[in-house]
Structure 1
């Protein structure tokens, strides 16, 4: 009898808690806002970040704004963009892809040196600058990540011109 009482009492308490949780979830759903993805929209509002006139003097300065401001980022890419990626369906043979502006996803090359010590997807990133060209090299640590992102200064402005992702 005691066991039956405990079972009924537990059921009652749990069902009350479930309706409370359901009510809280309903309240949350009413207040929820649409998710923001990192796909760059072609009708983005004016940037809130003020880009300095000398943004292209140093690649590092350019990269800071390229990472932070999606509007600035898409303005520094000539679409359609041709890139090379390892095709897993073809034994990781490199194949060319064309990325349209509408399918572009914002990139962020902000690098924290602790990324090399992560348990999963650890990597190192190096920037090589030679004159009007720069390459951001991303190398995984024992995980198959390997990509190069190529930038070039055209008409005085740094531009992302392509990338090669041979990650496996």
Structure 2
């Protein structure tokens, strides 16, 4: 019994999780909270629309593969159990944020916010 308790209390490392999440589509589907909330925002930060995507509508989100030479990737820990991944492209108005939360020791993608023009 204590082995199960010990496993439940282990805290998954975000960097290790994110590497696997980005490269393994089967693992990724187990770590997205569906329906996934996608929020589109305008340039002032006001919410324009909110959509929810089901597991059937997503095959694989290649977050790390979005990186291009002029793209900036930022990983920010916003709380003990929350990370934000931000992608921006200079002078284009492109900005997408991915929000992750650790629940019961495991990381999950819980929402996406698109601030692109």
TM-score range, shorter chain: 0.7 to 0.9
Aligned to 1:106: 60
State the shift of 1:57 in Å: 2.6
What TM-score do you get using the length of structure 2 for normalisation?
0.78
State the shift of 1:58 in Å: 1.4
Match of 2:82 among 110, 130, 133: 133
Aligned to 2:94: 145
**Higher fraction of strand:** 2
State the shift of 1:157 in Å: 0.7
**Higher fraction of helix:** 1
**1:64 aligned counterpart, secondary structure:** helix
| Whole-Å separation in 2 of the counterparts to 1:103 and 1:157 | 23
Please list every run of 5 or more consecutive structure 1 residues that lacks an aligned counterpart in the other structure: 1-55
Aligned to 1:83: 38
**2:34 aligned counterpart, secondary structure:** coil
| Whole-Å separation in 2 of the counterparts to 1:146 and 1:124 | 9
What TM-score do you get using the length of structure 1 for normalisation?
0.56
The ranges of structure 1 where at least 4 consecutive aligned residues each deviate by more than 4 angstroms after the TM superposition are none
Give the total of aligned pairs: 104
Residue 63 (str. 1) matches residue 12 (str. 2): no
Q: Residues 101-127 of structure 1, C-alpha deviation per residue, up to 9 Å, x if partnerless?
A: 1111411232697x3x4xxxx310100
Distance 1:77 1:93, change over 3 A: closer
Please list every run of 5 or more consecutive structure 2 residues that lacks an aligned counterpart in the other structure: 1-10
Kept in 2, the 8 Å contact 1:134–1:152? The answer is yes
| Whole-Å separation in 2 of the counterparts to 1:100 and 1:73 | 14
Q: Between Structure 1 and Structure 2, whose CA radius of gyration is higher?
A: 1
Q: Residues 73-109 of structure 1, C-alpha deviation per residue, up to 9 Å, x if partnerless?
A: 010012111210248xxxx962100101111141123
